[in-house]
């Protein structure tokens, strides 16, 4: 028996990077998959083909998680198409790194809107159906810098720290209905988001990681499988750091 058989997962920002790995890991465990990205581009189409070849039901949706109305409409469509959502992964996120001295109001507002408000939008939109079915697992993608801060990322760190407060609050609000809410805080993971870093910055990060390597999207996806599955049925309100021991 696979870990996620008979479950439906909805994952935001999944055409690339960590979200894509999560979707593939969920499908490998038997879950049906609804995933979003800003556009259904070539990456999203190729992911869809891969998922269908794995024998699960899958559909890609173009949706901006930072839009309240867009999130409501998306959840309505997904519920119509799949009948239910058991697992919500709020993965979509962006960076606009800059020292506070040079950070614009627009870069502050955009990062908070895409990384934090999106989680409010999607969780609020899904909660009614999860309350009705009296079960659900919500997984929010935070970051180690949401736990410990990082110079040059005050907007991003604030959004990811805010998301931890949201996660713990929702775990307390919805726990009595068997709806769990946890956060994953990845460290330095090789994706498009981190490929912008200069080689010397990259080497400096890796020197400070006890496991002496950058993480792979699959390292995060494995923890997302655990949190989505019944293996974690007594785990809620927690932040699991997937960082090679960096934040120890």
Catalytic amino acids?
Answer: 156
Nearer to ligand NAP among residue 59 and residue 177 (C-beta): 59
Among the residue ranges 81-89, 92-100, 172-180, 201-209, the one whose residues contact ligand NAP (CB under 6 A): 92-100
Q: In whole angstroms, what is the distance from residue 185 CA to residue 210 CA? A: 16
CA distances (Å), origin 200, targets 151, 207, 211? 17, 11, 18
Shortest Cβ distance from residue 5 to ligand NAP (Å)?
26
CA distances (Å), origin 6, targets 30, 51, 82, 138? 7, 15, 11, 17
Check: CB of residue 63 under 8 Å from CB of residue 74. yes
Rule CB under 6 A: which of 181-210 touch ligand NAP? 186, 188-189, 191-194
Phi, psi of 68 (to 5 degrees): -65, -50
Shortest Cβ distance from residue 206 to ligand NAP (Å)?
12
Answer for which of 114, 171, 224, 240 binds ligand NAP (CB under 6 A) is 114
Q: Which of 232, 194, 240, 187 is nearest to 211 (CA)?
A: 187
Does residue number 66 form part of the binding site for ligand NAP (CB under 6 A)? yes
Shortest Cβ distance from residue 134 to ligand NAP (Å)?
28
Check: CB of residue 116 under 8 Å from CB of residue 159. yes
Does residue number 121 form part of the binding site for ligand NAP (CB under 6 A)? no
Q: In whole angstroms, what is the distance from residue 179 CA to residue 106 CA? A: 35
Shortest Cβ distance from residue 203 to ligand NAP (Å)?
15
Check: CB of residue 114 under 8 Å from CB of residue 92. yes
Shortest Cβ distance from residue 201 to ligand NAP (Å)?
12
Answer for which of 8, 36, 182, 229 binds ligand NAP (CB under 6 A) is 36
Does residue number 64 form part of the binding site for ligand NAP (CB under 6 A)? yes
DSSP, res 102: G
Nearer to ligand NAP among residue 135 and residue 247 (C-beta): 247
Answer for which of 3, 28, 30, 38 binds ligand NAP (CB under 6 A) is 38
Among the residue ranges 14-22, 121-129, 172-180, 204-212, the one whose residues contact ligand NAP (CB under 6 A): 14-22
Q: What does the DSSP assignment read for 32-70?
A: EEEEEESS--HHHHHHHHHHHHTTS-EEEEE--TT-HHH
Could you list the residues that contact ligand NAP (CB under 6 A)? 12-13, 15-19, 36-38, 64-66, 91-94, 114, 118, 141, 143, 186, 188-189, 191-194
């Amino acid at each position: 028996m696979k870990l996620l058989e008979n479950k439906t997962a909805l994952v935001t920002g999944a055409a690339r990077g960590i979200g894509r790995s999560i979707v593939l890991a969920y499908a490998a465990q038997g879950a049906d998959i609804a995933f979003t990205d800003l556009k259904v581009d070539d990456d999203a189409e190729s992911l869809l083909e891969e998922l269908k070849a794995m024998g699960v039901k899958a559909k890609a949706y173009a949706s901006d998680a930072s839009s309240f109305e867009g999130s409501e409409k998306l959840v309505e469509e997904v519920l119509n198409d799949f009948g239910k959502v058991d697992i919500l992964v709020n993965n979509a996120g962006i960076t606009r790194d800059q020292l506070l001295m040079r950070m614009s109001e627009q870069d502050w507002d955009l990062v908070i809107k895409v990384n934090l408000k999106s989680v409010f939008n999607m969780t609020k939109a899904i909660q009614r159906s999860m309350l009705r079915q009296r079960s659900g697992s919500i997984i929010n993608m935070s970051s180690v810098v949401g736990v410990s801060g990082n110079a040059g990322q005050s907007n991003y760190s604030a959004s990811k720290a805010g998301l931890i407060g949201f996660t713990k609050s929702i775990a307390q609000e919805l726990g009595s209905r068997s709806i769990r809410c946890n956060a994953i805080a990845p460290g330095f993971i090789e994706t498009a988001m981190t490929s912008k870093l200069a080689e010397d910055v990259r080497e400096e990060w890796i020197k400070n990681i006890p496991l002496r390597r950058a993480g792979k999207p699959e390292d995060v996806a494995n923890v997302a499988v655990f949190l989505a599955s019944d293996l974690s049925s007594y785990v809620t309100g927690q932040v699991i750091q997937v960082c090679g021991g960096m934040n120890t």
